[in-house]
Amino acid sequence: MEKNQPYKQDKVFDNILETEEFNVYTKIDDLPLDENPMYLEEGINGICTGGSALFNVFGNKRRIVSNDLVVIFPFQLASVTEISSDFSMTFLKVPKSLFMDTISGICIPTLDFFFYMRKNFSTPLYDEECQRFIHFCNILIFRINLPRNLFRRESIMQLLRVFYWDIYVSYKRNPKAAELVKYTRKEKLLFDFFCLVIEFHTVSRDVAFYAKKMCVSAKHLTMVITDMSGRSAKDWIIDYSLLEIKALLRDSDLEIKEVASRTNFQSNSVMTRFFREHTGMTPSEYRERIYVKNEIDL
């Protein structure tokens, strides 16, 4: 595989404000994992091309060997140990901001899927399937290396959407998938919290609102959610609100004020302040980034 430079967001040519890096890697030193469990700021999608290593995601251990596909989402508590001297992978690192924007452009997968992926993050592939993944990586490299392309990030996101959608469809087609999702008491609380956030995030963005519905204190809810996910309950509420706003902004027929109304903000200005505080750009700037057309300065 040819050596390529990481895609880094350029606020002039990619029209975004935050720092973000995306690339295809083959050096194990570039894995955002070591023997110490940590909450990932990046997702990992990769294929093992030789050797073996023990991956651990929230206590779920898998011995990864040649031809195993590994898909670990951002925000997961993960580590890797028992790495053989000949272990090798071709993998992508997907920053959480890129992951969230990618997911916002497709049908939002069910929560069962995320819990399933936490425990089933590896899949053995046939040689032909492995070659298709390597080909997919080569297509991404081509997009990464496009010079000063205003659509570069969006094109990468579209390719990633196909990848994640295929993973989701494979999960939905597995008749035993639901049986494989078992919850501990804390996981059940986390799952119930996420379900309530999906249902009521336009009604309230206050942790106390959800704690009351779950008959626990806001302090206890925050403690469990942070312990189980590495992020606070408030952070998850904000992220899901942003996810829906971004999805609505992709509909060019909706005016900004309609987006504010659908997400239950008091006014345009209130939603704009909320969105800018957490993304570094206004809703209009975000929409412009998605639908920028015509002239591209090369």
Q: 52-55: long-range contacts at Cβ-Cβ below 8 A with a sequence spacing of 24 or more? A: 52/82, 52/83, 52/84, 52/87, 53/80, 53/81, 53/82, 53/83, 53/84, 53/87, 54/80, 54/81, 54/82, 54/83, 55/79, 55/80, 55/121, 55/122
- Work out the pLDDT band at 4, boundaries 50, 70, 90: low
Whether 35 shows a pLDDT value over 70: the answer reads: yes
Segment 221-240 shows an average pLDDT of 89
**Mean pLDDT of the chain, nearest integer:** 84
How far CA 8 is from CA of 24, 98, 153, in Å, comes to 13, 11, 9
Whether 217 shows a pLDDT value over 80: the answer reads: yes
Q: 263-268: long-range contacts at Cβ-Cβ below 8 A with a sequence spacing of 24 or more? A: 263/202, 264/202, 264/203
- Residues 110-146 pLDDT 10s: 677 888 888 889 999 999 999 999 999 999 998 888 7
d(CA 94, CA 42): 5
pLDDT for 296 equals: 40
- Residues 39-71 pLDDT 10s: 888 999 999 999 999 999 988 899 999 999 999
pLDDT for 15 equals: 41
With pLDDT > 70 as the criterion, what percentage of the chain qualifies?
Answer: 85
d(CA 73, CA 114): 8
pLDDT for 218 equals: 93
Among 175-189, 198-212, 219-233, the minimum mean pLDDT is found in: 175-189
**Residues 103, 117: contact at Cβ < 8 Å?**
no
pLDDT for 168 equals: 87
- Domains belonging to the chain, first-starting first, are 7-178 (2.60.120.10), 183-291 (1.10.10.60)
